[in-house]
A and B are shown apart, each in its own frame.
Chain A
């Protein structure tokens, strides 16, 4: 089955760069899926950060686009997140996610949804 596993430092200093990697297993990152990052600040809701296709095409949350970069490493079947100039407000659980195109039973229409999630990794921004 498809599994995603986040890895990276759990502590980042203010003004530094948060860097995470997501290892994908059970499916090729070259498949027709998008690969995304979602975060959740303590006690808060879910926030979509951005996504990447294996071609390198990206979409980012406009609120983060000036600070975020998502990359793909096809040789290692993984993708990554870089978030620059972090502050305490970036402290959160970060999830890597597969975005899949799911079809309905009743029509040929399909919809993008986040069907596989990593377990999440906690990143704290603190000096």
Chain B
């Protein structure tokens, strides 16, 4: 099975900061990589699919990049509503087996 790791596990940042979260797969998954945002007490929300395509309605300050085993989620200028946990997820298996990364919590410095 494919294992997903994320770094850092948590970070503290200020409004306006540029934030980068890394996700790594234990073997190549092409660009079968999705990113989700989860606020406390709420369901996750899809941000990015196919490693770099922004889901409809997601602000353009979010960008995704990478392929193979290494991926990044970047928030260009952190906004107050962006303080949340972020999860990567791979979907490369056939038959399908979704695996989430352990998550990265972004909180206020």
A interface residue numbers (CB < 8 A to B): 34, 36, 38, 45-48, 51, 59, 61-62, 95, 102, 104-105, 109-115, 117-120
Q: Are A102 and B95 in contact (CB under 8 A)?
A: no
Q: Are A48 and B50 in contact (CB under 8 A)?
A: no
Partner of A114, one of B46, B50, B53, B102: B46
Closest Cβ neighbor of B49 among chain A residues: A113
Q: Are A46 and B100 in contact (CB under 8 A)?
A: yes
Q: Are B102 and A45 in contact (CB under 8 A)?
A: yes
Partner of B50, one of A61, A111, A115, A118: A111
B interface residue numbers (CB < 8 A to A): 1, 31-32, 34, 36, 38, 42-46, 49-50, 53, 55, 87, 89, 91, 95-103
Partner of B91, one of A109, A112, A120: A112
Q: Are A113 and B34 in contact (CB under 8 A)?
A: yes
Give the chain B neighbours of A48 by CB distance below 8 A: 97-100
CB distance from B62 to the nearest CB of A (A): 14
Q: Are B50 and A102 in contact (CB under 8 A)?
A: yes
Which of B53, B87, B89, B91 neighbours the largest number of chain A CB atoms within 10 Å of its CB?
A: B53
Give the chain B neighbours of A62 by CB distance below 8 A: 1, 97
Give the chain B neighbours of A114 by CB distance below 8 A: 34, 36, 44, 46, 89, 98
User: Measured between alpha carbons, how far is A102 from B89 in the docked complex, in Å?
Assistant: 15
Which of B36, B44, B98 neighbours the largest number of chain A CB atoms within 10 Å of its CB?
A: B98
Closest Cβ neighbor of A93 among chain B residues: B43
A–B Cβ pairs within 8 angstroms, 30 of them: A36-B98, A38-B44, A45-B101, A45-B102, A46-B36, A46-B38, A46-B44, A46-B87, A46-B100, A59-B96, A59-B97, A61-B97, A62-B1, A95-B43, A102-B50, A102-B53, A105-B53, A109-B50, A110-B50, A111-B31, A111-B32, A111-B50, A111-B53, A112-B96, A113-B55, A113-B89, A114-B46, A115-B55, A117-B45, A120-B43
